[in-house]
Structure 1
Amino acid sequence: MAAVEDRPQMPTEEFERIARAAEREGVRMEFIHGRIGVKAAPDGDHMEIIRWVMKQCMQQRPDLWLYPGRGLRVGTSRRGHAKPDGVLAPDGGFAGQGEWADADRALMVVEVTSYDRDTDRRDRDEKPRAYAETGIPVHLLVDRDGGEVLVHSEPEDGRYVSLVRRPFGKPAVLPDPVGITLDTEPLKAWVR
């Protein structure tokens, strides 16, 4: 059953054409495991969390950059398309690439949960699997509902074998190749 579920419903080029047209209208689309999804517009707290993660990364790893909303080709066949809230990569890591980049330079992807049910489901279920299948070393999920961060790492056989949960207020270690420790206390201010 999983093989049918993962089969793309349309050619990649067709999705990219539709997504490009939608983006001109302010709609961000993703194509994960053969399903099209619309990514909810971030609210102010969501944007503050991304700004905060970016600042932490810049302070601790100035050789890296957090690219917000960077389109990546994901999944085992790289026919999926995701727009993580942030992609941590070496500075200049996506130079010369188009709207949908190869994920081989990504060291970490960041997602912040949304209060939109469809986006929230993709952030919690579908995207971690797609990111692990792609081999992205670290996936950071900031769970605003649960008041915790989830650090997925060690991608193996299409899934992350390590998952560390840290409540807001406790330090969260992002393992190598990221090598950053987040003081998550400020996250308490950006949840409902």
Structure 2
Amino acid sequence: MSAQPLESDPEVRRFGITREQFDRMVGPDGYDSPPVELLEGVLVEVVPQGGEHNDVVGELGQMLAQAVRPPWRVRTHSPFAAGVRSQPEPDVAVVLRRPGAHPDTAALIVEVAQSSQRLDLVHKPRVYAAAGVPVYWVVDLPAREVVVHSDLVDGGYASVERAPWTASLEVTIGDEALTVVLEELLADGE
């Protein structure tokens, strides 16, 4: 997948808008149209979520919520203020709470990709890196892999590695080192 600006990617459905317009549009009365995210000043249609996607988000969100300690919080499908021109809604985010505002600091962001690989692997790494997110995971459901982005450098990630579901994924939240093995987390309860 080649990296090109989101506004010129012909494979992504988008609508031009500013963040100020976006905030007014989704105000207290909500937005009654297809679900969208604001990425790099562009409204991007969000792909509907399937059962497996929701299962992974739920299990991972619950596990992280039990593991992280204040001041960190786990949010799912909630806005993240990723700079002036981007406000994605990551599937799972470990963030610092900002009372009355969307969080703008995250230790970990996770996107679960069933059919959204292009956005999650080509465009969102740039958005999350620019926002200073130190670790970004893309759980690629069809490939049964996790693409781990880490080592922030110059608005990007110096390290991008693919790990199988059987791998131990490590992340530090505050002073707490956490290990996640998706295969174990998603195993059927017995």
State if a TM-score over 0.5 links the two structures.
yes
Gaps of 5+ in 2: 9-14
Q: Which residue of 2 aligns with 1:94?
A: 98
Would the aligned equivalents of 1:22 and 1:28 in 2 still touch at CA under 8 Å? no
Cα distance between partner residues in 1 of 2:138 and 2:68: 19
Corresponding position of 1:108 = 108
TM-score, with structure 1 as normaliser = 0.77
In structure 1, C-alpha distance between the alignment counterparts of 2:150 and 2:170, rounded to whole Å: 11
Asked if residue 154 in structure 1 is aligned to residue 151 in structure 2, the reply is yes
In structure 1, what is the Cα distance between the partners aligned to 2:132 and 2:88?
Answer: 14
Cα distance change of structure 1 residues 175 and 153 upon mapping to structure 2, 3 Å threshold: farther
What is the aligned length? 176
1:47 to 1:133, Cα distance in 2 relative to 1, 3 A: same
Per-residue CA distance 1:106-146 (angstroms, 9 max, x = gap): 1111100032xxx3311111111110011111111101121
Mind listing any 5+ residue stretches in structure 1 that lack a counterpart? Answer: none
SS in 2 for 1:70: coil
Q: Does 1:82 align with 2:80?
A: no
TM-score calculated relative to the size of structure 2: 0.78
Deviation at 1:160, TM superposition (A): 0.8
Q: For the Cα contact (< 8 Å) 1:67–1:87, is it kept in 2?
A: yes
Q: Give 1:62 shift.
A: 3.8
Residues 25 and 31 of structure 2 are in contact (CA less than 8 Å); yes or no, is this contact kept in structure 1? no
Shift of 1:148: 0.8
Q: Percent identity?
A: 25
Kindly provide the CA deviation profile for residues 60-101 of structure 1, in whole angstroms up to 9, marking residues without a partner as x: 3243332011212225xx2222111111124xx13221xxx2
Which residue of structure 2 aligns with residue 53 of structure 1?
60
Distance between the aligned counterparts of 1:173 and 1:22, measured in 2?
40
Q: Which has the higher helix share?
A: 1
Pair 61,163 (structure 1): closer, same or farther in 2 beyond 3 Å: same
Answer whether contact 1:46 1:112 (CA < 8 A) is retained: yes
